[in-house]
Amino acid sequence: MVRHPSGQNLPILLDDDGLPIPLANEWVLQRRDLSPNTLTRNLRELAIFYAWLESLNIDFLARIDGDRIFTEAELAGSLCERLRLTVKVDPGQAGVAANVQGIKVAVSPLTFKLRLITVRQFISWCFRFKMAKLASGDPAFLRIQAHKEHVDKILSDQEISNPPQNKSVTKGLRDHEVVALVWCVDYRNPDAYGLNEHVRFRNFIIVMTMLNFGLRPAEVLTLRIGDIEFGSVTALRVFRRIADPNDTRSPQPRVKRNGRDIEMQVPTIINLIEEYIEIHRESVMERYGKNHDYLIISDEGDPLHGNSISNYFQIIREKFRDRLPSNLTPKSLRHTYSSRTERDMAQRGVPEDERKQILAYLRGDSSTRSQEVYISGEIIRQAATVQSKYHDVLMQNFLEYPNHE
């Protein structure tokens, strides 16, 4: 991972000699508008592709330039099978022997699909990169174009549909679980996790912000003091910003999707955030002599790292295992927010298309299609309620029916 003077982090892929692999890194550079996490995932997927090339002694550039084409056996029978597997290495082994004797385990269908898409996009880009240097009437241009279409057809045939999902299984928290969570993280709870009152109050603000406004962890961590505008109409603003050269966190949290303005209508939440800023945050900042405008800070006054939020949820799941569900994660809070918002709009008679648009805006999503899971979830919840009432009536009739000998 290379940190540039602008503050932007960019990953690079190295070969066995520790040297950058030109084509892979050039492909990543022209995609640098994506988040560092996405680019890192892409390069890890390409590392599998390059390891496959090396295992078969295939000169990738020579294949693109030359007459010999990739065969279906190589791509569908060998490469795709390699993309379907990961290797779990015995900790007691090392080096080549570990790679040979490691236990091969199949990855999930989604992981395979992401790997295949990345490899397919990269190979297609490499063909186009080569073709751009040739005249359209050059015989080599036509040969490479035919090779590109041949490879693309084989790999596209290997893509699988999204794995089936059981939409009836909720990803969010049930109402009683939300109540339990709020109690467990309440700064007034003597058992709440935190080094001191300032940390406990900060943890409470993080959870309540995510639960009430559906923010992603990275969006919480990028909030600045000025992003909360107090007044007759208090608003919380989520912005997409360029990389901050003064932010030393690695990786830097970033808002990857759409920004938005969220009106804060609950006086209790507004007062708690104001108290956190003026008392708890200020106390920690003064104690450690820090000077920045990030809202959520660490125990020492620095901008809080993303791993701290993940660790916090793991800690409270363990600490309150008898009260909190095993699926409690930052993402489950976002699902809870979305499901409850959808439920409220449905009960108020908001049309489905309008509900999708509102949810997409509030969640910072660019597509309304991703909101369908919450629409379906509310339909399933209502169906379960209707079925429960039907069963109650049916059993009541059974109990009231005369018992004949």
Q: Per-residue pLDDT averaged across 68-85, rounded?
A: 93
Q: Per-residue pLDDT averaged across 105-128, rounded?
A: 91
Q: How far, rounded to the nearest angstrom, does the alpha carbon of residue 216 sit from its chain's CA centroid? A: 9
Higher per-residue pLDDT: 363 or 203 = 203
∠ CA 236-238-240, nearest 5°, is 160
Give the confidence band of 145 by pLDDT, cuts at 50, 70, 90: very high
SS3 of the chain: helix, strand, coil, percent, to 5:
55, 5, 35
Q: Per-residue pLDDT averaged across 208-224, rounded?
A: 93
Q: What does the pLDDT look like over 11-33, one tens digit per residue? A: 999 998 899 999 999 999 998 87
- Output the pTM of the full model: 0.66
Q: What does the pLDDT look like over 234-248, one tens digit per residue? A: 889 998 888 888 888
Give the confidence band of 379 by pLDDT, cuts at 50, 70, 90: low
Q: Of the candidates 349, 380, 351, 348, which has an alpha carbon nearest to the alpha carbon of residue 368? A: 351
Task: Report CA-CA distances (Å) from 266 to 163, 209, 355, 396.
Answer: 40, 12, 21, 42
Give the confidence band of 180 by pLDDT, cuts at 50, 70, 90: very high
Task: Report CA-CA distances (Å) from 287 to 80, 225, 272, 273, 302.
Answer: 56, 19, 21, 20, 12
DSSP assignment of 343-386 equals HHHHHTT--HHHHHHHHHHHHT-S-SGGGHHHHHHHHHHHHHHH
What is the average pLDDT score of the chain? 85
Q: What does the pLDDT look like over 309-320, one tens digit per residue? A: 999 999 999 999
- The superfamily CATH assigns to domain 175-335 is Intergrase catalytic core (1.10.443.10)
Region for residue 171 given its phi and psi (left: phi exceeds 0; alpha: psi -120 to 50; beta: otherwise): alpha
Distance CA 25, CA 32 (A): 10
Q: What does the pLDDT look like over 282-292, one tens digit per residue? A: 999 999 999 99
Q: What are phi and psi of 256, to 5 degrees?
A: -85, -25
Give the confidence band of 405 by pLDDT, cuts at 50, 70, 90: very low
Distance CA 264, CA 230 (A): 9
Q: What does the pLDDT look like over 38-59, one tens digit per residue? A: 899 999 999 999 999 999 999 9
For 263, which DSSP code? E
For 106, which DSSP code? E
Distance CA 159, CA 182 (A): 43
Q: Of the candidates 261, 181, 186, which has an alpha carbon nearest to the alpha carbon of residue 229? A: 261
- pLDDT greater than 50 at residue 169: no
Q: How far, rounded to the nearest angstrom, does the alpha carbon of residue 330 sit from its chain's CA centroid? A: 10
Give the confidence band of 194 by pLDDT, cuts at 50, 70, 90: very high
Q: Where exactly are the structural domains of the chain?
A: 2-158, 175-335
Q: Which residues contact 261 (CB under 8 A, 6 or more apart)?
A: 235, 236, 237, 238
